[in-house]
Each structure stands twice: as C-alpha cells, then as structure tokens.
Chains A and B, each alone.
Chain A
Amino acid sequence: DAGVTQSPTHLIKTRGQQVTLRCSPKSGHDTVSWYQQALGQGPQFIFQYYEEEERQRGNFPDRFSGHQFPNYSSELNVNALLLGDSALYLCASSIGTSGEQFFGPGTRLTVL
C-alpha cells in the first residue's frame, strides 16, 4: 500500500514563474492538506481540500491556489514566484478533514 506520494522531488524556478506541484493521497484517504516548510522551521498550513473544494486556508496570498481531482489527488499552484517561496512543500492526506494526517516526502522548490 503506497503512502502519500509527491512529484516532482526537486524543482528549480526563477522569480516570476509559475509552478505546479502534485500529490497523490494514501489509499483510502479523501482529504489533502498542503504545508510550506522553510529551512529550519516547522511546516506552515497553506490549505486543505475535501470533496474537490478548499475547506480551510492559512495565511498565504492568492498566488497560492490548489485543486483536488475526483480521484482525491491534488495540485498546488504558485504564481509569480518570489525568492521567499523557496521551501519544502509537504502534502498530507487524511480520512475526512479532521483525521490523522499522513505526510508525503515533500517537493523541494528553489526559486532563483
């Protein structure tokens, strides 16, 4: 049984570009949450998707958007990249919006 998977593993972009990160939840999970983890810090909540809708959002600008597909997988999109967007982006899946969250390995985004 595969756990949470994320792609790509690493990504390098330049300022102003747009990026899409992908997440496949653990089998049987229907909810996906996204977190940003800057170097040396704890993860910060971006948003959560359930039933293809954004259910809760953290303190992130509108440049950060997402989507959830009928198969429960999810995408995180970031527009107009800034240097400060460089971080590890973590996806966590759960059964329902309040279930225990299982994390994927993350996507390391570097913005130059």
Chain B
Amino acid sequence: GESVGLHLPTLSVQEGDNSIINCAYSNSASDYFIWYKQESGKGPQFIIDIRSNMDKRQGQRVTVLLNKTVKHLSLQIAATQPGDSAVYFCAEKGEYGNKLVFGAGTILRVKS
C-alpha cells in the first residue's frame, strides 16, 4: 500500500541526550527517503535524505539509517537541543513518481 508510518507518536528526551525517531515504510520499490522537521506554524523543513543504495548518511548532528530488509528508517539526533523540539516526518518517493508520501509524524519534546 501507499503508506509510511511512524512507531512512536511522541518522544520526550532530556537536553543533551541523543534522540532516535523511527519510521516504517511499506513500499519496497521506494528509492528515496527524506526526513523533515516541522515547527509550529511553519512548513516542513528538509533535514536529511538517503537513497536506497545507501545504508547510512550523516549530516550535522543528524544521521539517517536505512534498513531495506525490514523496510525501516531512523533519524538520530545527537546532543538534542531545545530548538530540536518539533514534529518530525519521514517521507518516501519512488514508485509514485515525484510526489512525496509522508508518514503521520513524531512529536519530539526536549526537556531542559
């Protein structure tokens, strides 16, 4: 089916800790995955992406891991900061042309 879902709707972490946000996707034909951050009152903001020919990709304080065997995607945020508090979405693209298929989102709350 056409769905990308998240395991945890809300994640609370202490400032300075690492955060891990998970995502399960259903379409094995998808070849491109993106993580977006959405703050209140704003549109989704690109964080990091990964193609299906990769297992891991690192950015500044963020790492995306892709496990194609179990169709699982994760976003790791190192040293989580209060400014990281937002809703995080994974999205996929591939079989459905150029449209992005989004999951429902995970709320990340950072406690100071």
- Residues of B close to A92: CB separation below 8 A: 43
- Residues of A close to B41: CB separation below 8 A: 105
* CA A65 to CA B9, docked complex, whole Å: 32
- Residues of A close to B97: CB separation below 8 A: 56
Nearest 3 pairs of A and B residues by beta carbon: A42-B102, A103-B43, A45-B99
- Residues of A close to B98: CB separation below 8 A: 33, 48, 55-56, 97-98
* CA A92 to CA B42, docked complex, whole Å: 12
Known contacts A40-B105, A42-B104, A103-B43; 10 additional CB pairs below 8 A are: A33-B99, A33-B100, A40-B104, A41-B104, A42-B89, A42-B103, A55-B98, A97-B98, A103-B45, A106-B42
- Does A87 sit within 8 A of B, measured CB to CB? no
> Secondary structure of the B side of the interface?
strand
The interface size of chain A toward B, counting residues with CB under 8 Å, comes to 24
Tell me, rounded to whole Å, the shortest Cβ–Cβ distance linking A90 to chain B. 5
Tell me, rounded to whole Å, the shortest Cβ–Cβ distance linking B55 to chain A. 21
Interface contact A43-B100, CB-CB below 8 Å = yes
Tell me, rounded to whole Å, the shortest Cβ–Cβ distance linking B73 to chain A. 14
Tell me, rounded to whole Å, the shortest Cβ–Cβ distance linking B32 to chain A. 9
Interface contact A43-B99, CB-CB below 8 Å = no
* CA A48 to CA B96, docked complex, whole Å: 12
- Residues of B close to A105: CB separation below 8 A: 41-43
Interface contact B42-A43, CB-CB below 8 Å = no
Q: Which of B21-72 contact A (CB under 8 A)?
A: 36, 41-46, 49
- Does B86 sit within 8 A of A, measured CB to CB? no
- Does A7 sit within 8 A of B, measured CB to CB? no
